Amino acid sequence: MTTRLHAITIVVPDYDAGIAFYAGNMEFAVTADHDLGGGKRWVLVQPPGGGAQLLLAKASGAEQEAAIGNQTGGRVGFFLYSDDFDADHAAMVAAGVTFEEEPRTESYGKVAVWRDPFGNRWDLLQLF
């Protein structure tokens, strides 16, 4: 048996806003966008280098709306790996991505925390 992480859900206020940021600014590929009826869609986006995808889920109701941007309790919950940190950092800044800090070097690699427009905290990360 072979298993792998396929997708992680990110709750967004609107499918198209999620697509606009991830596929537009971040150049993720839209790998699926299926109408499920009743205003629901199955939307998957994947980073240019492959790997696990994000399932963009439109918030439904007050509880889910309150979770937008705080799905991990304020902690960094998502990690975008880079094999060329400096180039990817510069491209993200040019695309309007908001970094919370300047890049720093840790024992495991080079890292900088950024937020998507919905408030989710991410690390841009190049491992040593």
Residues 84 and 56 in one domain: no
Q: Are β-strands 109-115 and 98-99 bridged in parallel, bridged antiparallel, or unpaired?
A: antiparallel
Reported pTM: 0.94
Residue 100 belongs to domain spanning: 76-128
> One digit per residue, pLDDT tens: the chain, 128 residues?
999 999 999 999 999 999 999 999 999 999 999 999 999 999 999 999 999 999 999 999 999 999 999 999 999 999 999 999 999 999 999 999 999 999 999 999 999 999 999 999 999 999 99
Annotate 32-44 with three-state secondary structure. EEEEEECCEEEEE
Q: Are 46 and 53 in contact (CB under 8 A)?
A: yes
List CB contacts of 73: < 8 A, sequence separation 6 or more.
Answer: none
Residues 53 and 84 in one domain: no
- Confirm if 85 and 126 have CB atoms less than 8 A apart: yes
Percent above pLDDT 70 for the chain = 100
Number of domains in the chain: 2
State which of 68, 84, 107 marks the end of a domain.
Answer: 68
pLDDT tens digits along 44-80: 999 999 999 999 999 999 999 999 999 999 999 999 9
- Burial of 39-76, coded b for 16+ CB within 10 Å and e otherwise, reads eebebbbbbeeeeebbbbbbbeeeeeeeebbebeeeeb
CA distance 27 to 14: 18
Domain shared by 51 and 85, yes or no? no
SS3 label, residue 52: coil
Residues 63 and 24 in one domain: yes
| Claim to verify: residue 48 and residue 8 sit in the same structural domain | yes
Report the CATH number that the domain containing residue 60 is assigned in CATH.
3.10.180.10
Q: Are residues 61 and 45 in the same domain?
A: yes
Task: Choose the final residue of a domain: 46, 68, 90.
Answer: 68
Radius of gyration over every alpha carbon of the chain, rounded to an integer in angstroms: 15
